[in-house]
Amino acid sequence: MQPFTERVIQVIKAIPEGSVMTYGQIAEQAGSRRAARQVVRILHSLSGAHKLPWHRVVNAKGEIAIRDVESRDIQILYLDGEGVQVSREGTVDLDKYRYCPAEAEQS
């Protein structure tokens, strides 16, 4: 496994319940700010094997990026179960729910 992939997995596993991170934010935390699409690929191919909390990842606008209706509904259900409010349009308030590891370390 590539070092970047390992770092992405660790960043995603560290997202606490009730919070979300964006694909780009995860890429930056893993050391490659411009690799958001690679984060998507890693989530798609490795979520099951590594038990990743895939539902805690949204796009830069706070939108659920999954287009498959069933998977989208599951993501909304999981987020709702953790107390994350998702709008009718499928967006999350990033100001309220975004997890910022650097800020968490300072607390």
The pLDDT tens digits for 69-83 are 999 999 999 999 999
Least Cα distance to 26 among 50, 45, 53, 48 occurs for 53
Q: How far apart are CA 102 and CA 54, in angstroms?
A: 21
3-state secondary structure 64-75: CCCCCHHHHHHH
- Has residue 106 got a pLDDT over 80? no
Structure-token pair, residue 96: 């309220």
CB atoms within 10 A of CB 101: 14
Would you kindly state where each structural domain of the chain is located, as residue ranges? 3-96
- Looking at residue 85, its amino acid is Q
- Has residue 13 got a pLDDT over 80? yes
CATH number of 3-96: 1.10.10.10
